Amino acid sequence: MPAPTLIGHQRIADSLWRMVSEGRLPQTLLFAGQAGVGKTTLARHLAAGINCSIGPGKPCGDCSPCQRILAADLSKQEYRKILADRRKLPAAKRSENPLIVATHPDVLIFPPDGPMRIIGIDQARLLRNQARLSPSEGRRRIFVIKNAERANSEAANALLKTLEEPAPNLTIILTSVNPYLLPATIRSRSIPFYFDALSPAEIEIFLNTREDISDSLRKQVGAWSRGSPGVALSIDVAEFLARRKAMLALVRTALAKGEFVQLASEMDAIARKQAESIDVLAEMLSSLLRDLLRLHLKVKDGLTHRDIATELAQLAGQSTFAWTERAVAALDMLEQLQQTNIQKQIALEAYALSMRK
Ligand SMILES: [Zn+2]
């Protein structure tokens, strides 16, 4: 295996390699940035570099620790299937066997779990117990808590306790799409690193390594991914187009009615009909509205949906900047509502579980 290449985030990677080789890596790191931009990938490279046989420093990619640690790539088909299968399990089954991904005994990844994609108390308890152990074969233990903002309040409290009692030889990496949803007590205990979207040139380099994407589609997928390789990887073109069509129809209806009326229930109905999560639909709607804002501001460069620029320009012509801003605000409200619902759902699951016990 050749030395692993990281695409983008060079400045962050360089400062992390320096901290590792000088032995001054902080106890808790917070990797913040849009979904799929490479936060967990860099966390994995960092974990490999720390425990590399010829390190610590940059990972060689060749030794057994590097190979095992780098193998825990959650975008691989095998992990996607595990995560999808777990969503169908009853809460009690998930709770008996908390979700953790470990391809090396000292590197543990805690992804959100279940249909609501939550970091639950059982995962946080497991993490707390594991935090007491010393490295079993490497130099340090590294725990990656993926999408830490999705920890419910119980899990966040348990996590905070772990952060308050720093174990020697343990580094905790929190990744987050929206770090402001994390409790301030957790945020203040971590050293933040902000991940920018990859540049169009970097995304092109990334997509050129993918033989399963045709040349004609590469530019398109590159724009749709908005600088996130993880998003580019997960785009299913047919699904993407169907989702976009549904969200464009929603925008047209809202324009005809004057406002987004009952956005939550309309999104819910579309989500049920297309068997998609509201999160994914909201993300699409948000990218379309952002393009409309760009068109209102006469910024033609950097359109996500440049393949339908003419159609979007027509929609921009039918709306005003203020209307589009209000639409964005309505969508933000919906996302906050979703977050509250997640907490409610967790409380219900916990209650059902306690009744069963
Ligand atoms: Zn190595």
10-residue mean pLDDT profile of the chain (357 residues): values are 74 93 92 94 96 90 95 88 89 91 96 89 94 93 95 93 90 93 93 93 85 78 88 86 93 86 81 82 90 88 88 92 88 75 60 55
pLDDT at 351: 57
C-alpha to C-alpha distance for 16 and 284, rounded to whole angstroms? 33
Host H or E run for residue 108: strand 107-110
Host H or E run for residue 173: strand 170-176
Host H or E run for residue 32: strand 28-32
pLDDT at 268: 83
C-alpha to C-alpha distance for 263 and 134, rounded to whole angstroms? 50
Residue with the two structure tokens 């320009």: 313
Q: Enter the tokens of residue 170.
A: 């343990």
Pair (95, 176) in one structural domain: yes
Pair (68, 173) in one structural domain: yes
pLDDT at 141: 96
30 alpha carbon – ligand 1 mean position (Å): 24
Pair (249, 317) in one structural domain: yes
Number of domains making up the chain:
2
- H helical segments located in the chain: 10-21, 39-51, 64-70, 77-87, 91-96, 121-130, 153-164, 184-187, 200-208, 215-224, 229-234, 237-257, 263-274, 278-296, 309-318, 321-356
Q: Residue type at 228? A: S
213 is a domain residue: no
pLDDT at 350: 57
64 alpha carbon – ligand 1 mean position (Å): 7
Nearest to 274 by CA among 240, 318, 310: 240
Pair (65, 183) in one structural domain: yes
58 alpha carbon – ligand 1 mean position (Å): 8
282 alpha carbon – ligand 1 mean position (Å): 41
Note whether 342 and 116 are within 8 A (CB). Answer: yes
352 is a domain residue: no
Pair (125, 182) in one structural domain: yes
61 alpha carbon – ligand 1 mean position (Å): 5
91 is a domain residue: yes
17 alpha carbon – ligand 1 mean position (Å): 13
Pair (261, 171) in one structural domain: no
173 alpha carbon – ligand 1 mean position (Å): 20
Pair (74, 136) in one structural domain: yes
* Domain stops at, among 130, 163, 194: 194
154 alpha carbon – ligand 1 mean position (Å): 37
Nearest to 286 by CA among 204, 182, 213, 178: 178
169 is a domain residue: yes
* Domain stops at, among 194, 226, 255: 194
Pair (181, 252) in one structural domain: no
C-alpha to C-alpha distance for 312 and 46, rounded to whole angstroms? 41
62 alpha carbon – ligand 1 mean position (Å): 5
16 alpha carbon – ligand 1 mean position (Å): 16
Nearest to 28 by CA among 174, 139, 168: 174
- CATH number, domain at 88? 3.40.50.300
Pair (18, 164) in one structural domain: yes
Q: Starting at the edge strand that comes first in sequence, how are the strands of the sheet with 141-145 ordered?
A: 101-104, 107-110, 141-145, 170-176, 28-32, 191-194
254 alpha carbon – ligand 1 mean position (Å): 55
* Domain stops at, among 194, 215, 248: 194
355 is a domain residue: no
140 alpha carbon – ligand 1 mean position (Å): 14
2 alpha carbon – ligand 1 mean position (Å): 11
99 alpha carbon – ligand 1 mean position (Å): 27
Pair (175, 268) in one structural domain: no
92 is a domain residue: yes
210 is a domain residue: no
144 alpha carbon – ligand 1 mean position (Å): 19
155 is a domain residue: yes
Confidence (pTM):
0.84
Pair (171, 313) in one structural domain: no
Burial of 224 (0-12, 13-18, 19+ CB in 10 A): buried
Range of the domain at 253: 236-346
68 alpha carbon – ligand 1 mean position (Å): 10
194 alpha carbon – ligand 1 mean position (Å): 26
- DSSP letters along 66-79, please? HHHHHT--TTSHHH
Pair (190, 244) in one structural domain: no
45 alpha carbon – ligand 1 mean position (Å): 10
